[in-house]
A and B are shown apart, each in its own frame.
Chain A
Amino acid sequence: MDTSEPKSLSARQAGLKACTICGALYAIDHQRACDRCGARVLSRRRHSVQRAWAFLFVGILAYIPANVFPIMLTRSITGDTSDTILSGVMVLIESESYGVALIIFVASICIPVAKFVIIAGLALSLHFDWDMSEHTRHRLHKLTEFIGRWSMIDVFVVAVLAALIQLGAILTILPGPGINAFALSVVFTMLAASALDPRLLWDTDNHVR
């Protein structure tokens, strides 16, 4: 219950709210859409944390089949093989393509898991008012938004291979069911990251100080 003056002043504390699209400032009781760009003007998005949790939950759920089911089916004259994410990484390691193996492993295992952890951490920190600097929160939030797009590298690899390698009976690569689940997982973690209203991050920060 520290009542000391905060280091910085938020728009809300100043009785104002800003349009997040064009930056126009309005009084906090402004009820209409943004006069300049027509977007909704909200001081804080409603249910921001709840929505982040919901999306995160779907993302984690989709991540399970993404790892269990094969993401790529290779059909060749020597027979059919199917690879899950991890088995593909193992194949790459066995064939001594360590660089590619590392990229795939980081993009499809490390990054998604890191995003889950970060988003969950941010949401928890908001919920329990963890003692965390506003910069730390903000950096973590920026990080999830930045690395989120790289998770799609796996989806792109499969899409490009499936499009390019269509040699009929000799060699054909088809996307497996796992890659759909993986793409869903990535999409929902990105939604979760964006559902988290960044303005909440400094609300609590201000309060803690």
Chain B
Amino acid sequence: MSASSERAPANARVERAANLSARVSLAWLLPLGAVLFAGWVLWQSYIQRGPLVEISFDKAGGVIAGETRVRRNDVDVGRVESVMLADDLDSVVVSVRLDPQVASYLDDDTRFWIVNARINTTEISGLSTLLSGSYIEVDWDDVPGERQYEFVGLTEPPLTTRGTPGLRLTLNADEAGYIYVGSPVFLRQIEVGRVERRRLNEDATQVLFDIFIEAPHHRNVYPDTRFYGVSGVEGKIGSDGASVRVESIAALFTGGIAFENPPEVTSAEPVTVTGSKYKLFDSRTEARESLFDGEDDHQYRLIAQFKGSVKGLRRDAPIEYNGIVVGKVRSVSVSLPQTAAESSTATVVLQFQPRRLGLVDATQEDWHATVNTFVESGLRVQLATGNLLTGSLIVKLVTKPELDGESIDFSAEPYPSVPVIASNVEAVTADVETLIKNLSELPLDSMVTAATQVLEETRQLLASPDVAQLPAQLASSMSSLADATASLPAMVQSLTQTSDNANDVLEGLSPDSEIYIELSAAARELRVAAKSIAAFAELLEENPNAILTGR
């Protein structure tokens, strides 16, 4: 260029070289602006970029890098950036770029799961993903927490999202029964929640159910609330007839859990602690009869030591006081006697339920003091027959005021020992034994002698002269009877006469008497009436329509 400008001083190159402002075109502002704009866009997208989180899944079914969305309540909140195997090759790590506005909620409450089409016995869901492909659902509560960037994805979708108001509880049961994840929870046969999870506890001795109860029904859960399984039909045959109860038709197929409150505890505060533990009973009946609260409370345990056999007394046998169940037998054990001559002693551990006795929140000292007072005024423990057919025994608390003075033996192990009295069973046995003994002592020989004597006296009586005169007396009675019969014809005659008199009275109705005249008039009218009827009958015969049309 320099060469050409030297060559032609008059041409355009000289004009361009005049000064700096003339040398630089304004068009350069355009690329400068473009660069600035691009830089601004890049900067914006960089600072507004959401957090990148890594979620590990067992399997990444249908998750595609760059395409699969992350959703919350069906709204996109992020996108999968990459899908790769974890270092141990056992799981899949999905990197997700989330929207910046959700970043503050990424705490340890955040849960991710892959939504696929699911069809099984308890649910049909996610069918839309058959066409649109699966997506990752995210759920978190509305409380921002400590930021976290690595998560473990759930294998199963949770049934309720974190934000749903309600209460989560844990129930424990001996067996899982027919209760599955997703089974409904009922309150008065209204569905108020679901089973979210079902698992074994750590040592596999119990099944734990995590359930969720929706608001506002979770306010009906009290510390004394009883939960029971409703696996279809509950039948009962009792003295008042048979009854069948079905909690819900759906529960027939999927099983379910119901809960109810005992009537006496409605004043207590509702439970608000997430994860509170409850026992799950097998049936409503069992739940109602249960003594679950403080079932394993050692401080309310006492022992009773019975001499002799306790055959028929089993664990969980009820303890009754005036017909009310106030506890149950925890265990029955036997200790051998010192010598074979003595009878063995059975130690029965009694689990009491002080609430049933009106003692609310009693401490161990209160409890012992109360029982001791009762025992000193005659309370005793006794075995009684619970069921005559099976021979099972129950424990009864009886009051024998005449037996006062004794007290609880607090030195006994493992729990304080309550004094006992001989059981009814033992008493009955003793009575029968007495009866048999008395029978065997009866004076049978003298009885036979006496009977023989009675027979002899009878024979002598028959042989006496008085007995022989009896036929003659009978004959005289018969002749008096014949006399009476002879007077009958006279009676008949007098009756005939009476009849004649009656005839005379009837004949006395003369033609002049008033009655006669009236009767005659009545007879005439009857005749006229009869004629009319005859005429009417004739008319009807000739013209039956007359009855409808008239003459």
Residues of A within 8 A of B (CB): 1, 12, 43-44, 46-47, 50-51, 54-55, 57-58, 61-62, 65, 77-81, 127, 129, 195, 203-204, 207
Contacts and interface: CB of A to CB of B under 8 A. Distances in A.
Interface of B: 1, 3-4, 7, 11-12, 15-16, 22, 24-25, 27-28, 30-31, 34-35, 38, 67, 131-133
Contact of B12 (A44, A129, A195): A44
A55 B7 contact: no
Contacts of A207: 3-4, 7
Given A46-B22, A65-B38, 8 more contacts: A46-B12, A46-B15, A50-B25, A54-B28, A54-B31, A61-B38, A77-B132, A204-B4
Contact of B25 (A12, A46, A58, A78): A46
A63 B27 CA distance: 19
B27 A50 contact: yes
Nearest to A77: B131
Given A1-B7, A54-B28, A79-B133, A46 B16 contact: yes
A60 to B, nearest CB: 9
Contacts of A46: 12, 15-16, 22, 25
Contact of B34 (A58, A80, A129): A58
A58 B31 contact: yes
21 contacts: A1-B7, A12-B12, A46-B12, A46-B16, A46-B22, A47-B27, A50-B27, A51-B25, A51-B27, A54-B28, A54-B31, A55-B27, A55-B30, A58-B31, A62-B34, A79-B67, A79-B131, A79-B132, A129-B1, A129-B3, A207-B4
Contacts of B1: 127, 129
A58 B30 CA distance: 7
A53 B16 CA distance: 16
Nearest to A195: B27
Contacts of B31: 54-55, 57-58, 61
Contacts of B15: 46
B3 A1 contact: yes
Residue among B7, B12, B16, B38 with most chain A CB within 10 A: B12
Residue among A57, A62, A81, A129 with most chain B CB within 10 A: A57
A43 B1 CA distance: 18
Nearest to B12: A44
Nearest first, the 4 closest Cβ-Cβ pairs linking A and B are A47-B25, A50-B25, A54-B27, A57-B31
Nearest to A52: B27
B67 A50 contact: no
Contacts of A57: 31, 34
A78 B3 contact: no
Contacts of B16: 46-47
A25 to B, nearest CB: 18
A204 B11 CA distance: 12
Contacts of A61: 31, 34-35, 38
A129 B6 CA distance: 14
Given A1-B3, A1-B7, A44-B12, A54 B30 contact: yes
A30 B11 CA distance: 15
B395 to A, nearest CB: 70
A119 to B, nearest CB: 14
Contacts of A43: 12
A65 to B, nearest CB: 8
B80 to A, nearest CB: 13
A54 B26 CA distance: 9
B451 to A, nearest CB: 110
Nearest to A199: B12
Contacts of A1: 3, 7
